[in-house]
Structure 1
Amino acid sequence: MTPSYRSNSSPSLRSGKARPVVAITIGDPFGVGPEVVLKAAGFLGGLARKGRAQADFIIVGDSSVLSAASRLPATPAALPRNVSIVDPYIIAPSEVKFGCQSKLSGEASLAYLDLALRLIKEKKADCLVNAPLSKEAVSSAFPRINFIGHTEYIAGRFKVKDFAMMLLGGPLKVTLVTRHIPVRAVPKSVTKKEIIKSIKLSHEALVDYFGIAEPRIGVASLNPHGGEGGKIGREEIEVIRPAVNEAKRRFKNIIGPVSSESLFYLAYRGKLDCVVAMYHDQGLTPLKMIARDNSINVTLGLPFVRTSPGHGTAFDIAGKGIADPGPLIESVKLAVGIFKKKKGRT
């Protein structure tokens, strides 16, 4: 059952205005999410005071948690006028324990997400930005829910079948064919259909979100050295190459399968606009090596814009006032920018 909520209604909870309304969940309440959300709100509110507000914002999270976070060093104690709060009233002030993942934090994390999705469905918000939550905590609170992550959960709530995760960091954009599954399950999950879908969604995002007229997309092989003509695996011959060949009939500038070491070198040098990686660590290891602290996640295929910072809950530094809001600020700015581009074409 979705918790009731109350808003301080600082900006009107109505989307469709000249400025978009961005819902921001605080993620796990005992991680760094509340702190970075408040710091980001302070920065974005500063733009509003200078007459440069790009959007209105709704923070989705317990006021008790936000109040505790506001007492951390370098964290704003008051919210700007263009920022409001939606409070599900789950966590009492005495229950706030930064740095301590728990069943309660998992319960609250999912409640915040559900409320934000409700705002999107009710057209009270246009975009969604999520601070990080803990899959382990959510699973401990809801053992019957197979909670794999934000991406899969949100797509399921909106009954979206064709979706993908694109990560941005430095000069790299990476789309994953498979996401949060065991490595042993990857070969059977890398199918022609999933590869073509990932190429298609990447191409559309590069054109619509980033204004790249003729995207250059590289598709990674699965096996070392591209399988060496079948000597180290046949997925390239039987699955990936046929998918790439079919995609080439629909889109220009598609190459692959190519070993990921070569593709990422090309992408890093600006020769490719996006790499389609076969599995999670194949794509995210090189990206986070150059952009560990400022990567951004964009969910492709949803009927609304959704972004999040690429970092985790960072329980080890939660409650210390040293968390960097930069990735969340960039996630918000990207969401607003994408929304305005999409709005300008309608």
Structure 2
Amino acid sequence: MHRLPVLALTTGEPAGVGPELAAAISGQCGKARLVLLGDRALLAERAAAVGVDADWPDYRAGDQAPVSVLHLPLAAPCVAGTLDPANARYVLDLLDRAIDGAQAGEFDAIVTAPLHKGVINDGIGGPFFYGHTEYLAERTGTEQVVMMLAGGGLRVALATTHLPLKDVPAAITFESLSKALRILHADLQTKFGLARPRILVAGLNPHAGESGHLGREEIDVIIPVLDALRAEGMTLIGPLPADTLFNRKQLDQGDAVLAMYHDQGLPVLKFASFGEGINITLGLPVIRTSVDHGTALDLAGSGRADPGSLAAAIDLAAELSRHRG
């Protein structure tokens, strides 16, 4: 019998839905051992909101409990739906403990519930916090990572992430695009078990630049990158006009899409899978998956939040852990 992977589940912003989603999902996962990182009293309170008995044991490395709690205390009392910058450091402490454990081999993967970037920045006083993806990269010493969302039969990765639209063209360089494609290709092989992944690459401009009449980024950067990496043996299709890329006939030719910017690729994926999508950070030395939604402060404490995306993130983290052996 194979050992079940051990997943560190960070419960995220305490005023949001993360703690109760973690509680709701705790009795439904038979594919992994879950370690819930968070304040035990907070988790018990939110478990009551979803009708779950919070009788989880304390986490001990190497134990066999299907669900356990690694208690990290809140800095200040928490009210569901009400953000408090005093707990910003608490949220990062959860992440730090999960990262340290994953890097040490204590955890096979990290699954993250949503956090709130604004309140973290209000509470920590700098350096600026951009989000889970960037924080994980910095804490693991990873120079470049790639955000990929999966769901609805799609895998969509991003060449750039949380940038103003006006800054996107300058961020797409020969070096950065080459590295993003190498990361995507390598992780599709090692984490998803695809021996020869096929990647559909979107153009940046309308109609993929229309031979330079609608922009030269395809001619000057994207096509040279694709030609260079094809010469190394990668299967890359494109650059493709983004307005016609997301049709079934086209998608059937690839295993993943690389979009050039956040709102080029993700609206389609979220339309296809909202509530059950998964965020995966590629290029890290550890496995990390996450929900595809935010803190949903208006639902926090109500017991009405849908755990579907978190369940999918847990299932994928367990699957990726098995691929890595």
Same fold (TM over 0.5): yes
- Listed as ranges, the matches of 1:1-346 within 5 Å are 18-44=3-29, 47=30, 54-79=31-56, 81-91=65-75, 95-266=77-248, 269-343=251-325
Structure 1 segments, 4+ long, off by >6 Å, are none
Distance 1:198 1:233 in 2: 21
SS in 1 for 2:149: strand
Give the alignment's Cα RMSD to 1 decimal.
1.8
Q: Per-residue deviation at 1:267?
A: 7.0
Q: Which residue of 2 aligns with 1:8?
A: none
Letter in 2 for 1:192: F
Letter in 2 for 1:89: P
- 1:242-274 deviations in Å (ceiling 9; x for gaps): 111111112343111111122222577522211
Q: 1:72 to 1:253 in 2, by over 3 A?
A: same
Deviates more, 1:248-257 or 1:187-196: 248-257
Kept in 1: contact 2:56–2:69 (CA 8 A):
no
Kept in 2: contact 1:64–1:96 (CA 8 A):
no
Q: Per-residue deviation at 1:168?
A: 0.3
Aligned residues: 317
Kept in 2: contact 1:27–1:132 (CA 8 A):
yes
Mark the runs of 5 or more structure 2 residues left unpaired by the alignment. 58-64
Letter in 1 for 2:18: G
Q: 1:213 to 1:267 in 2, by over 3 A?
A: farther
Q: Per-residue deviation at 1:162?
A: 3.2
TM-score (norm 2): 0.92
Q: 1:290 to 1:320 in 2, by over 3 A?
A: same
Kept in 1: contact 2:20–2:46 (CA 8 A):
yes
Distance 2:294 2:309 in 1: 11
SS in 2 for 1:254: strand
Q: Per-residue deviation at 1:316?
A: 1.3
Kept in 2: contact 1:42–1:76 (CA 8 A):
no
Mark the runs of 5 or more structure 1 residues left unpaired by the alignment. 1-16, 48-53
Q: 1:165 to 1:113 in 2, by over 3 A?
A: same
Distance 1:96 1:183 in 2: 36
Q: Per-residue deviation at 1:218?
A: 1.1
Distance 1:109 1:257 in 2: 40
Distance 1:317 1:268 in 2: 38
Kept in 2: contact 1:75–1:321 (CA 8 A):
no
SS in 1 for 2:36: strand
Letter in 2 for 1:203: H
Distance 2:54 2:250 in 1: 40
Kept in 1: contact 2:74–2:87 (CA 8 A):
no
Q: Which residue of 2 aligns with 1:4?
A: none
